Amino acid sequence: MAIKKSELYSSLWESCNELRGGMDASQYKDYVLVMLFIKYISDKWAGQPFAPITIPEGASFADMVKLKKSINIGDDINKKILNPLKEANNLSDFPDFNDVTKLGSGKEMVDRLTNLITTFEKAELDFSSNRAEGDDILGDAYEYLMRHFAAESGKSKGQFYTPAEVSRTMASIIGINQITKDSDVTVYDPTCGSGSLLLRVGDEAKSKELLYTDKRRKLQRQVWLV
- Round to whole Å and give the CA distance between 108 and 116: 12
Check pLDDT > 90 for residue 123. no
| Residue of 44, 56, 43 lying closest to 89 (CA atoms) | 56
Predicted pLDDT at 40: 87
pLDDT tens-digit series, residues 168-217? 787 788 777 777 665 666 777 777 766 667 777 777 776 655 555 554 44
| Residue of 177, 51, 180, 166 lying closest to 189 (CA atoms) | 166
pLDDT tens-digit series, residues 83-115? 999 999 999 889 999 999 999 999 999 999 999
pLDDT tens-digit series, residues 44-91? 889 888 889 999 999 999 999 999 999 999 999 999 999 999 999 999
- Round to whole Å and give the CA distance between 125 and 113: 18
141 or 105, which is more confident?
105
Bridge partners for 135 per DSSP: 132
User: Which amino acid appears at position 89 of this protein?
Assistant: N
CB 162 within 8 A of CB 156: no
- Round to whole Å and give the CA distance between 210 and 43: 34
The region of weakest confidence among 12-21, 89-98, 127-136 is 127-136
Residue 151's Cβ-count burial label (10 Å; 0-12, 13-18, 19+) is: middle
For the full predicted model, state whether its pTM sits above 0.85. Answer: no
- Round to whole Å and give the CA distance between 205 and 200: 9
- Describe the crossing of helices 107-119 and 28-45 by its angle, rounded to 10 degrees: 50
Residue 165's Cβ-count burial label (10 Å; 0-12, 13-18, 19+) is: exposed
What average pLDDT does range 141-154 have in this prediction? 64
Question: Residue 82 has what DSSP assignment?
Answer: I
CB 82 within 8 A of CB 58: no
Predicted pLDDT at 81: 97
Residue 203's Cβ-count burial label (10 Å; 0-12, 13-18, 19+) is: middle
Strands ordered across the beta sheet of 185-188: 211-212, 185-188, 221-224
Predicted pLDDT at 222: 44
Residue 187 parent element (H or E): strand 185-188
